[in-house]
Structure 1
């Protein structure tokens, strides 16, 4: 059985799954052509649904009413910590580049991100995150996001990471938000082999789903991943200690130096190997434009699309 291609998106607003599938498949097809896989590229572009599934879960972040109490404070605390870690990573890059103006702005952002002396509630923590993001959006490459994201919207999107990791917001049946999101990925995987391509928050979702299922994954591709954020994401992954899922035969992790979400990109340093000794292999790519934390920019790269094409063509399935 040939593997199915499964796309898992990251942070952002609700999406049209059919339109997104066509968009992602088109970008991947461009990368496949650049990598010398024109026939598969043409087939994928002509009939994306025959080859691939797009897992859409952003609608699950729609909240009928505001959270309150300890859950809201914990979630806001995660968000503030996430933004603070992004500032620290940006500061390290600015130091490498001897970017004096960037360092000045980021020093101010660090002050804004620093915890206050007294215990803060959810509202105070959220305002702190908003202030930090507003400052970051005046700095490259964050300013590229400002073309279509306001600080409030960016904070809301970054807050999706905190909401997922909070393991809260149960539905009427008791399933938490993170479990409902993983259920959608599990449904798309099906019973046969799958090549899984995940972006941003989707890399966290996909990794945890693959651990929950005995999935046959000849190739797992992560793009612009926050998995290695040691302060917020890595210690909250399930299961612990973080490791490669046993059914994953190969894991390629791609990062762009200007991708503000892909911090500490070398996952092989932070995740234990799977049962067969597989470790993530991280590789840097360089995309054009100011804002590179976009799935389609990664997918259009030959270095990303080539291995996907090879895995789709070569793997007969387990069994």
Structure 2
């Protein structure tokens, strides 16, 4: 298998259904190498990358609709009540918190609800579908006109919501996605780098591998793993009875990086959830708060990867 001896495995997030592992590698590889190069400028004793060291776990094709040309033309009416509506509102609330110029859920018009538990991981369901669709339109209008999601159309934002929801609600799809990551994590793997929903995929794949694998480092970027209710409480394995998350047995060091303006990484510190061993770092991605490329070119990310390679 190509990439089976790679020391760095990268797991992407949503919105990559037209990519393959090879096309991802062409984009991700240069960004990752750039971040590691910046880290080596600061500390030449860190580990270095060799040819063939990077492999990408591509799973976007599993989301492609057979016999169609690209994504369906989604509209506000296609956002389903429950998980999709709740996640959309959580993003909306966080974007408004980060930027006061964005009209948030609590001042979005006559149908706005009062402060709910959305930011805490659960959002009350709206009473009627017409009001719900109107609220979805307001959320989409707010998000797609902001610097957080400004480059994303309504159609693609809804597609992203559906991909996250499908991962958590369709067991066969979830298993197939996870398998794409697990098959690349070999005894030679030293670092797993995972972005956005990919951090959930990588986390669950690593937990399933068990403690008999050689230790490796986990680097999560823009991760939603700490979002209670919608993500954290749906993880496999589930959090313990005391509320703490299970530590993936093969992971020796875990570095979690988040841009302070990343509205997808609503909970930017994972240590309170998974233990003080998680090293939480803030990075500055400029105007590309949630971009995988921006995260990978950060010197902090390069340092975390090169530290794992140095072992």
What TM-score comes out, normalization by structure 1 length? 0.77
Structure 1 position 198 matched with structure 2 position 208:
no
Structure-2 change in CA distance of 1:204 and 1:302 (3 Å): same
Residue in structure 2 matched with residue 308 of structure 1 by the alignment: 305
Q: How far 1:181 moved relative to its partner?
A: 0.4
- 1:79 and 1:247 map into 2 onto residues whose CA distance is 32
Q: How far 1:127 moved relative to its partner?
A: 7.5
What's the secondary structure of 1:188's corresponding residue?
Answer: coil
Q: Choose the corresponding residue for 2:156, options 138, 153, 157.
A: 153
What's the secondary structure of 1:270's corresponding residue?
Answer: helix
Q: How far 1:159 moved relative to its partner?
A: 1.7
Structure-2 change in CA distance of 1:211 and 1:105 (3 Å): closer
Structure 1 position 82 matched with structure 2 position 87:
yes
Q: Choose the corresponding residue for 1:261, options 253, 257, 264.
A: 264
Q: How many residues align?
A: 278
8 Å CA contact retained: 2:168, 2:234: yes
What TM-score comes out, normalization by structure 2 length? 0.79
8 Å CA contact retained: 1:129, 1:155: no
Residue in structure 1 matched with residue 35 of structure 2 by the alignment: 31
Superposition map of 1:288-307 within 5 A: 288=286, 290-307=287-304
Residue in structure 2 matched with residue 69 of structure 1 by the alignment: none
8 Å CA contact retained: 2:259, 2:282: yes
Superposition map of 1:163-242 within 5 A: 163-168=166-171, 176-214=172-210, 215-241=213-239, 242=245
Residue in structure 2 matched with residue 57 of structure 1 by the alignment: 59
